[in-house]
Amino acid sequence: MGLTIYMDGEFVPEENAAVSVFDHGLLYGDGVFEGIRAYHGRVFKLEEHLDRLYDSAKYILLEIPVAKEEMAKVVIETCRRNVIRDGYIRLVVTRGKGDLGLDPKKCPKPTVFCIAATIQLYPPEFYEKGLDVITVPTRRSMPEALNARVKSLNYLNNILGRIEAGLNGVQEAIMLTSDGYVAEATGDNIFIIKDGTLVTPPPHLGILEGITRNTVMELASAMGTRVYEKVFTRYDVFTADECFLTGTAAELIPVVKVDGRPIGNGRPGAMTWELIRAFRELTKTDGPEIF
């Protein structure tokens, strides 16, 4: 039996959930989305995800035809109908059906759909042993071109980086800015730890301001750890004591080697594990209940 999908005000079987071939989300990547997690029968950080969705839509002048409070109910009900207690939710708003031109004014009605299913971004052993990653030639898009704080449907920049990672036999890659600073991974934010201090790139550098990223920063601060948003280069990554990635799908995953250089002692570090444990504890209590 297939999934039940929310589609423009209705819940339909997945085989009936379809968008038009003239939808500008499909034709041009014109739209926004959120990836959201459910843990222990709760939707984690739902309010923060919806705030980002509506901010992204506002930036691209896309008016979402569902009020934020109603959208929260849509997400929860989609999980309920698919009996999702622990899973992954994809909430998407496209510009809608138009013509073959670029003009968004030719799209009178946005398309809204929500999927609640499961996801496994990395094999379980990588969470225990850590990831081996590389930096790639493809640079992160400049904020002046396409601001990464907008979680848009246009992910080709990230996909090109992921292709380069795969061609080099690794699961993930670090992308740099045009100036050579570390930006983020192709699907995740990056953190390094040096001398007990947690450091991550600032949003203005051209990164997605991740919900998991912000949560980890809050958890680390609550533990008494010094946390900084500042620019850094590959040198700082290579010489870090620890490194890890964060993302809604990835959660927190250790990085143990970058461009052939072992990070720290080449094993997941103590602070990384402490933050993983704190994050997992938080998922047990945060967010509205599904059932």
Active-site residue set: 151
In angstroms, the CA 256 to CA 39 distance is: 27
Positive/negative CA dihedral, 147, 151, 152, 157: positive
**Contact in structure between 66 and 74 (CB atoms under 8 Å):** yes
